[in-house]
Amino acid sequence: MKERIGLFDLKSMKEHYQSLLRELKAISSTSNESDEILRNIFTSKGLKIFLIGDIQNERILVQVEVFPTAYTSPENFEYTFCERQSEIKHPLRSLLEHQISNLFYLRTLNDKGFTLSLVGEECIWYATKVLETEPPEELFELLNPLVKWASLKF
């Protein structure tokens, strides 16, 4: 299967996965202060994607975090990605539409085997999935629409 490198770099994520796997095998849970090793794969104003090495269970997870309050300045919100631009007359309405879209997208991740969670007061929604093997191309097909949204300039 040919690897597709797009918005979200499949090759790089696989390299991080292999490195993290080697590190998990070399480390013992008693010699580490934390039970997790984090690899930041993608970061933007409203989205973070991590690979997490679970030391205790010797497994790797992918975690997608969506920050619903990422846009603190609606005046700076641009309509470049809004497909329904003519229907949306107000920046706050557009912001709301994008946030609702992201929550629906998290539900899609849940339908594809991710576990959903919410971090309390910060209202950070996240979806997590254990990776049984190195990340497959299908994972990137699933995450790229969210990465595309998060890559927009606001």
- Please report which residue ranges of 27-114 form alpha helices under DSSP H: 91-111
Q: Is the pLDDT of residue 90 over 70?
A: no
- Token pair, residue 56, equals 């205790």
Partners of 39 in the β-ladder? 51
Question: Distance between CA 60 and CA 51 in Å, rounded?
Answer: 7
Domain ranges for the chain:
10-150
28 is written with which tokens? 């013992």
Residue 129 confidence (pLDDT) above 90: yes
| Higher local confidence (pLDDT), 66 or 97 | 66
pLDDT of residue 63: 93
- CATH number, domain 10-150: 3.30.1460
Banded model confidence at residue 23, pLDDT cuts 50, 70, 90:
confident
| Average pLDDT estimate for 121-135 | 86
pLDDT at 61: 93
The runs of H, that is alpha helices, within 2-136 are 10-26, 91-111
Rounded Cα gap, residues 154 and 150, in angstroms: 9
